[in-house]
Amino acid sequence: MSTAVPIIIDDDKVFDTISTRVLRFLKDNFASGQFNAFYDGDPLLIGISRLPAIIVETSSANTLIGPTGFDKWQETITIKIVVNKRDEVGAEEDTVLGYKRLKQLVGARDITTKKFIPESLMGILRTNFTLDDVVIHQDVTIDYGIGERGDELLTSEAHIQFTAHELIEIGQRT
């Protein structure tokens, strides 16, 4: 009886996926201490001490095979901003703090210029639109909701989804 041996490719020889580059870019551009953890892929269970957290994952990918020696690689990226829902318990405000915080982290805008604040997710994405020669499709979808991450953790989450693409040069063809 044989067991399958997983194929392992040395990370030093592999060009990072778009989602991995987006995660690194967010780590480098969010203010220090704004998030406690950054994940490449959704770990599902997150310790409370690791919140707030950012998760970046590829929801889907496809290749448009071109005749010119270049293929168009597309990834649909989902960025999840996750905060502890229980942090707002006992607040006396009418505003749900976790939801308000999520909206600010995603798309806070300057009161005077009405532009995205550079420290918001949309500010980071919009001012660095090409992300190392990766083009982001023009549509960005943002969904807000509540999640359960294990028996004890209730979270407020924003899921930001967009499609990014890049051209990949194809070597010799026959």
Domain architecture of the chain: domains with CATH: 14-167 (3.30.70.1700)
Confidence of residue 39 (pLDDT cuts 50, 70, 90): very high
* Structural tokens at position 23: 């995660």
The 10s digit of each residue's pLDDT in 107-121 is: 999 999 999 998 889
Q: Is the pLDDT of residue 104 over 60?
A: yes
- Specify the 3-state DSSP secondary structure of 93: coil
pLDDT, greater one: 144 or 4: 144
**Residue 79's pLDDT is what?**
95
Q: Which two tokens stand for residue 105?
A: 């982290």
38 strand-pairing partners:
54
Please, are residues 29 and 124 in contact by the beta-carbon 8 Å criterion?
yes
